[in-house]
Amino acid sequence: MADRHAQLSFDGNEYDLPIVEPTIGNAGLTIAKLRADSGDVTYDPGFANTAGAQSTITYIDGAAGILQHRGYAIEDLAANATFLEVAYLLLVGKLPNKAEFEAWSEDVRMHTLLNEEMKRFFDAFPKRAHPMAILSSATNAISTFYEDYHDPSNAKAFDESAVRLLAKMPTIAAWAYKKSIGMPYSYPNNDLDYVENFLAMMFSLPTARYEVDPVIAKAVNVLFVLHADHEQNCSTATVRGVGSSQANLFASVGAGIDALWGPLHGGANQRVIEMLQSIVDDPDASAKSMIARAKDPNDPFRLMGFGHRVYKNYDPRARVLRSYADDVLAAVGIKDPLFDIAKELEQTALEDDYFVERKLFPNVDFYSGLIFRALDFPTRMFTVLFAMGRLPGWMAQWKEMTEDPSTRIMRPRQIYIGDIDKEYVPIEER
Ligand code: ACO
């Protein structure tokens, strides 16, 4: 196919915009030289219509509700793959064969311990510290033990840092939780697999034997797989943006964790449960009253777990989780009133013109929290669980960005609308 170009004309001038062609999905009009040629920039708040990268990792068709990693459908991966296999797929670009997988997962298994000095770091936080603050701080802090691995152009350093981060994240997450409940930190047990090890560190005590329930381990595996990557979302764009300054992988991931914490992004999973609980706790609240608040233009309240920048159809991850939530709740023998309220809320919203017109559907956060809750995770750990799942995606995107010769430091332009040429007035004269 001949190279396609778009023409842009304004102020009597014509500008040629070469088109970057995709394998599938939207093409991209290259505007990189527009400012040099015309003196003007494009304006796109939230970069909702701007591609910051060409990527081979994840494909989303938001209108059709399709999500694929390296060409594999999320439904297929969630049903059949382990989280570590998906992490390998994202990082390396292909599914591992048996020997590759065994060698790699053994490598991850061997790096689960934190440097003992990190204990003092956890001790220093107040008991009420949100585990997301501890997670991002600890991710930055472990960079101080690996300063020889900070050069982004060193591929071997990346591979080893990625294994270390993947291996240590469950230990950090579990210790953040133990800190919050005033219980002793549990050390990793390398006889267990990735998810089992995490569960044992979360829930075991020195005083009692802890057996990992295979139903819970499987559910956590599915949840991690469903969160593993999601192309250029807010936290991934943050990881890429920080990494574009050649900051090290640990620092870039730490920044991604902070971006994920926000309630409009990964923090929504905690907010969904708080919203559902508020309906149970308040006799005057109901699914209908929540919907009415969400629709009220004078009320900043939004229906948490609903709507998505990219999906204008049911989020395929939410679809998997909705039916999976039924199975998990039944398997662990829990009848959760919040699940019934969630289904009622979803039904009411999906029949409401406001939500229909704006194409607002449940996103991944709407049902994930209900499953985490059934598995006994405290609400404040939900976004940490999301971060653990998203880690391979962040690292794969960081690697892709670092290896891409067209990468430049992320530095958007602005349109200045403030005052100019004012004269300084001494403080006593103001
Ligand atoms: N409740 C009520 N109204 C909503 C909601 C919601 N959850 N989401 C969007 N809308 C409305 C907006 O008010 C807007 O209405 P308007 O056209 O009358 O002004 C319209 O739908 C479009 O919304 P935008 O804010 O422009 O959409 P955007 O793509 O910028 O935001 C977002 C997407 C942040 C996810 C938004 O839908 C939201 O706030 N949802 C609730 C928080 C949430 O669940 N976040 C998790 C997202 S998934 C993830 O990050 C893992």
Q: How far is the CA of 304 from the centre of ligand 1 (A)?
A: 9
Residue pair 174/203 in contact by the 8 Å Cβ criterion:
no
- The rounded mean pLDDT for the chain is 96
Q: How far is the CA of 3 from the centre of ligand 1 (A)?
A: 36
Q: Is 365 designated active site?
A: yes
Q: Which two tokens stand for residue 87?
A: 């992490």
Residue 209 CB: number of other CB atoms within 10 A?
6
Q: What is the pLDDT of residues 73-113, one digit of tens each?
A: 999 999 999 999 999 999 999 999 999 999 999 999 999 99
Q: Is 219 in the pocket of ligand 1 (CB under 6 A)?
A: no
Give me the mean pLDDT over the 22-43 stretch: 97
How much is the pLDDT for 209?
A: 82
Confidence of residue 60 (pLDDT cuts 50, 70, 90): very high
Give residue 1's pLDDT band: very low, low, confident or very high (50, 70, 90): low
383-428 pLDDT tens trace = 999 999 999 999 999 999 999 999 999 999 999 999 999 999 999 9
Q: Cβ(265) to ligand 1 under 6 A? A: yes
Which of 69, 227, 265, 308 is catalytic? The answer is 308
Predicted pLDDT of residue 257 = 98
pLDDT band at 2 (very low <50, low <70, confident <90, very high): low
- Catalytic site includes residue 5: no
- Per-residue pLDDT tens for 318-360? 999 998 998 899 988 988 999 999 999 999 999 999 999 999 9
CB 358 less than 6 A from any atom of ligand 1: yes
Pocket mutation for ligand 1, best pick of 264, 291, 301 (most atoms within 8 Å of C-beta):
264
Given a cut of 80, whether residue 66 has pLDDT beyond it is yes
Query: Checking DSSP bridges between strand 72-73 and strand 28-29, what pairing results, if any?
Result: unpaired
pLDDT, position 286: 92
Put the strands of the sheet holding 66-69 in their side by side order. 58-61, 66-69, 72-73
Residue 271 CB less than 6 A away from ligand 1: no
Decide: 256 in ligand 1 pocket, CB within 6 A.
no
| Distance (Å) from CA 261 to ligand 1 centroid | 16
Instruction: Provide the β-strand partners of residue 20.
Output: 28
For atom 40 of ligand 1, the residue with the nearest CA is 307
pLDDT of residue 16: 97
Query: Could you say which of 159, 365, 404, 421 is catalytic?
Result: 365
What is the amino acid identity at position 372?
F
Name the phi and psi angles at 41, rounded to 5: -120, 170
Instruction: Please enumerate in sequence order all residues whose Cβ is within 8 A of that of 119, keeping only pairs 6 or more positions apart, or say none.
Output: 185
pLDDT tens sequence across 190-229: 999 999 999 999 999 999 888 999 999 999 999 999 999 9
Nearest C-alpha neighbor of 388 from the set 251, 198, 196: 198
Helix (H) or strand (E) holding 66: strand 66-69
Which residue's CA is the closest to the ligand 1 atom numbered 49? 265
pTM (whole model) above 0.85: yes
The whole-number pLDDT of residue 131 equals: 96
pLDDT tens for 255-302 read 999 999 999 999 999 999 999 999 999 999 999 999 999 999 999 999
Task: Please give the average per-residue pLDDT across 159-165, as a whole number.
Answer: 98
pLDDT recorded at residue 372: 94
Q: Is the CB of 28 under 6 A from ligand 1?
A: no
- Ligand 1 atom 17, closest CA: 358
Of all atoms in ligand 1, which is nearest to the CA of residue 260? 50
Does residue 400 sit in helix, strand or coil?
A: helix
User: What does the alpha-carbon distance between residue 189 and residue 193 come to, in Å, rounded to a whole number?
Assistant: 9
